[in-house]
Amino acid sequence: MAYRFSFKSYRLPLRAPLRTAHGVWAEREGILVRLEEETGRVGFGEIAPLPWFGTETMVEAEEICRKFGATVDAGTLEAVPARFGCVRFALAGARSGTCHLIDDKESAMRLPVTALLPVGRTALVTLPAKLEAGFLSFKWKVGVGAVDDELGILDDLLAALPSYAQLRLDANGAWDRRQAARWLKRCAERPVEFVEQPVPAADEAALLGLAADYPVTLALDESVTGLAAAQRWQGLGWSGVFVIKPSLAGPLEETAAWITTTKADVVLSSAIETALGRAAILRTALTQPLTRRALGFGVGEIFGDRRWDGPILGPVLDRSWISAVNPEEIWNALN
């Protein structure tokens, strides 16, 4: 089958810079792709690479798109190497039409969403409004400030958190093993759902050792950028959580099949895509039982523009959010 192919690159400022252990993130770059079949059916996808996270670069993704030309066949699309997971995610989504409006016949499943708290003591200021909005799950980025300061804030956050709510900690690989051990000792026997990527992805021995030495559930994030990496960690016997950013991992159907087949304990998480890319992921999450944990998509109004953010996403996701996202309108908004 042959397709008419076109793409548009974007660079969008974030409403407020996002601070993590990797540094300050002020803008999002990506590419929207459009495939049109001979029948006239159109599909859209989003390439949202994070090279510092281990994906392909924007330069590589744009080069692949340029080489496709105005017309591309299915075999060429399928031949994109596995290491270009973001490109493969977008092309698979455009081909399958998973970014299209949700069908009325599909599942009416409702899924909880985790709210992202700001770094530092500002998290304590933000928490009450998020609780009032109905969020029951929260994620706090750590490894950004001094350890003693952040541990003190952790105590205050847990004291302010109702017994029915859960807190996730995400270090983005910022700690060494000694620092991670200190945090895990503090978290033991406390209402922390899991600690995400406590040490760098390269220190696999420390990750496995910490998981064995402490009762706190650990989660992999930077360690499992692609699906092959997650499968390898399963082979190593990882029994913790896999934080999977589907837009980085490759075709959604492959990721979903792996989760369904292996019963992996997964959190589906955003890589700060536009509403077009998020709609593809969330539509799949609502139609297949892929996770028992709250979705990591509560990033808030990250762009400060409804065209890219989509509708306000509250503490529970249902089909109404996806139904309100029109990929063609988002495509047309990029000049």
**Catalytic site residues?**
141, 245
Q: How far apart are the first and last CA of the chain?
A: 29
Q: Which of 268, 266, 201 is nearest to 21 (CA)?
A: 201
Cα dihedral 155/158/160/161 (nearest 10): 170
Spatial separation of the C-alpha atoms in residues 117 and 124, rounded to whole Å: 9
Q: Both tokens of residue 139? A: 């994620």
Distance CA 113, CA 234 (A): 26
Buried b (16+ CB within 10 A) or exposed e, 154-193: beebeeebeeebbbbbbbbbbbebeebbebbebbeeeebb
Helices 227-235 and 252-262: crossing angle in degrees, nearest 10, is: 20
Q: In the numeric block, which tokens belong to residue 183?
A: 């945090």
